[in-house]
Structure 1
Amino acid sequence: MNRLARWARTEWGFLYVTVRDALVRRRLRAIPMTLAAMALTALVQVVQNQSWGYGPVQRLGGVRAEDPLWPALLRTPLSLFVPAPDLPVWGALIQILFVFGVAEICLGRPRTLALAYAATLAGTLYARLGIRLGFDSLLGLPTSDARVVDTGPSAAVVGLAVYVGWRYGARWTAGAVTAAMAVEVLLKGNLAGKEHLAAIFAVVVLIAVSRLRRFRRRPGRLAVPGAHSPAPVPDPHRSAPVPVPARARR
């Protein structure tokens, strides 16, 4: 039991303290973007369930792989807040509250939005590539998936969970999320599961780029252990330092 508690502190301690302190100090003011996203998702769900609202919601936020590319790209930001029609809306709201809330506190609003959009966009673009590859390919999709409505926050949620887990040392959690998405693809092989893996792949690429940039900024990164740096060449125009008497140095 003690070993499990130590593991939990190591895995989630830093993340827990960061989120707890922000909520204690600011309460709900720490997650205004998350609350706005939940309100927008709930509003869209109410509107699209009306006889007059389904069409406008699909024109503004509905994405299908068969749609022209540029209109689909313009709809992608809002599609994140359009709940999937075959899933209960409370599932999307819980995902947004928990994962978006943690990410907003830990990463800040601009980075959270950028990562959420990047993950969602990766899934949207993958769907087009998968259909072009065809169902016979390992990464392909059946042609019928081109007509599937591809909306909801799940790709963004998966991408944010992996990024926050990596950033705050919860590496086992990030690995578990990735493994769960891989198992989903093996068991179902549906559009949603493969889009989740595409979102994770996009986030992993961003993590690799971030680490590479940090490595390049690190001083002395090309130093070889055991190698001796050349002796400095004295400047003949610079006068030698004047020795200071011992008494003056006291």
Structure 2
Amino acid sequence: MSILRPEVDRPGDDRAEKEPRAGARPRRGSGAGTRPRGERRTDGQTPAGTRARTRTRPGAGPRTGARPGAGAREGERAGPGVPEAARAGLPARIVAFAGRTLRGEWEGIVVDPLRRLRRRGPAALSLAFVACGGVIFFHAIAQRPAGATAVRILGGVQGDLPLWLALLRTPVSLYVPALDLPVWAGITQLFLAFALAELALGRARTLAVAYAATLAGTLTVRVLIAMGPDRWGVGLPPETAQVLDTGPSAAVVGLFTYLSVVRRAPIVFTLTGGSMVVESLAKPNLAGREHLIAVGAALVLGLLHGQGGRLRRLLPGVRASAQVRGSA
């Protein structure tokens, strides 16, 4: 008699050891002859009617708790520093990111406006044609002494003019070309800026952004002249007030900046703003200051784009808090 398994015959043992009938599925945990889960046989045989727990796949051994190579991968993750494979793929990821950014900017700033131009026709560029035609017209008139005087009276803006007169001449000064810049090179930039902005933003918003950028430069220059050249290094000397401040360059810079912010184009924004910074550092004159101011104004307007609903929701709360403070 064995200690591990007593040789005691119990009723029903012979029935439990018999083979199940064909087509019948054995029930688990039922019947007197079933063996409790977890109990092993000492004779190395698998009881009839039970399934082997070891599952095998074709061409692979039995599954265990650990996968081959898992420890190596865990060691690479936990190890200090970046793996060599990741360092080797870093330039490729940078190139891929730059490619995706360029493709997105090309789609948003060039391809989408061209699709609208194809749908709407040349009439969609009416504002761009009017802007270029106005610059050419005023440039042709200014070639004669009488015409130059008329252009100066209609659109000539200077820092020493009364404020009301400067504000009255500012809209016309958009079409008066600067005397120290080549007009035909500026017309190309003017047409591209107004055409892309008109197709992407609409005529009303294009005019608003262009005028806001120009007006911001005109008004801020007065503040810089009043500050003087010795105030924080950003002021302008008093003789700058007699320099003629005309031309659409501030509007062009403002439109490109606004488009780059609204269309999420960091490369165009960097090229536009970076060139203005370089220009202002290389030639610190009135035009350089105005271009930087135009970039800043367009940047603020671009960040506020689409925030009208949020501002309208905030205004009632601000008014209510002001009323509460006034009553207290």
Q: Give the TM bin, normalised by the shorter chain.
A: 0.7 to 0.9
Provide TM-score, normalisation by structure 2: 0.63
Give the distance between the partners of 1:176 and 1:133, measured in 2 at CA.
30
Give the distance between the partners of 2:171 and 2:152, measured in 1 at CA.
13
Q: Percent identity?
A: 44
Please state if 1:19 is matched with 2:113. yes
Give the distance between the partners of 1:79 and 1:122, measured in 2 at CA.
13
Match of 2:123 in 1: 29
Residue 28 of structure 1 deviates from its aligned partner by 2.1
For residues 31-78 of structure 1, give each alpha carbon's deviation from its aligned partner in whole angstroms, at most 9, with x where no partner exists.
011101111110000001112101111001000101111111000000
Q: Is the 8 A contact 2:261 2:299 kept in 1?
A: no
Q: Is the 8 A contact 1:12 1:169 kept in 2?
A: no
Residue 20 of structure 1 deviates from its aligned partner by 1.5
When the two structures are aligned, how many residues end up with a matched partner? 218
What's the Cα RMSD here?
1.9
Match of 2:38 in 1: none
Q: Which amino acid aligns with 1:147?
A: Q
Q: Is the 8 A contact 2:262 2:303 kept in 1?
A: no
Give the distance between the partners of 2:299 and 2:181, measured in 1 at CA.
27
Please state if 1:135 is matched with 2:135. no
Residue 14 of structure 1 deviates from its aligned partner by 2.1
Residue 175 of structure 1 deviates from its aligned partner by 2.7
Match of 1:81 in 2: 175
Q: Is the 8 A contact 1:92 1:152 kept in 2?
A: no
Please state if 1:150 is matched with 2:150. no
Q: Which has the larger radius of gyration?
A: 2
Residue 211 of structure 1 deviates from its aligned partner by 5.5
Q: Which amino acid aligns with 1:8?
A: L
Q: Which amino acid aligns with 2:297?
A: A
Structure 1's consecutive aligned runs of 4 or more residues displaced over 4 angstroms after TM superposition are 214-218
Residue 125 of structure 1 deviates from its aligned partner by 0.6
Q: Is the 8 A contact 2:256 2:272 kept in 1?
A: yes
Equivalent in 175, 184, 191 of residue 97 of structure 1: 191
Please state if 1:191 is matched with 2:286. yes
Q: Is the 8 A contact 1:158 1:177 kept in 2?
A: yes
Residue 22 of structure 1 deviates from its aligned partner by 2.0
Residue 153 of structure 1 deviates from its aligned partner by 0.5
Give the distance between the partners of 1:132 and 1:217, measured in 2 at CA.
36
Give the distance between the partners of 1:145 and 1:114, measured in 2 at CA.
27
Q: Which amino acid aligns with 2:151?
A: V
Match of 1:247 in 2: none
SS at match of 1:31: helix
Match of 1:69 in 2: 163
Provide TM-score, normalisation by structure 1: 0.81
Residue 95 of structure 1 deviates from its aligned partner by 1.6
For residues 171-202 of structure 1, give each alpha carbon's deviation from its aligned partner in whole angstroms, at most 9, with x where no partner exists.
22113211221121112111101111111221
Give the distance between the partners of 2:126 and 2:161, measured in 1 at CA.
33
C-alpha distance 153-131 of structure 1, shift in aligned 2 (>3 A): same
Give the distance between the partners of 2:226 and 2:167, measured in 1 at CA.
18
Q: Is the 8 A contact 2:261 2:303 kept in 1?
A: no
Whose helix proportion is higher, 1 or 2?
Answer: 1
Residue 214 of structure 1 deviates from its aligned partner by 4.9
Residue 7 of structure 1 deviates from its aligned partner by 3.2
Give the distance between the partners of 1:166 and 1:130, measured in 2 at CA.
27
Give the 5 Å matches for 1:159-170: 159-170=254-265
Equivalent in 133, 157, 160 of residue 39 of structure 1: 133
SS at match of 2:178: coil
Unaligned runs of 5+ in 2: 1-91, 314-328
Residue 215 of structure 1 deviates from its aligned partner by 4.4
Match of 1:107 in 2: 201
Match of 1:179 in 2: 274
Q: Is the 8 A contact 1:44 1:57 kept in 2?
A: yes
Unaligned runs of 5+ in 1: 219-250
Q: Which amino acid aligns with 1:105?
A: L
Give the distance between the partners of 2:128 and 2:307, measured in 1 at CA.
30
Q: Which amino acid aligns with 2:284?
A: G
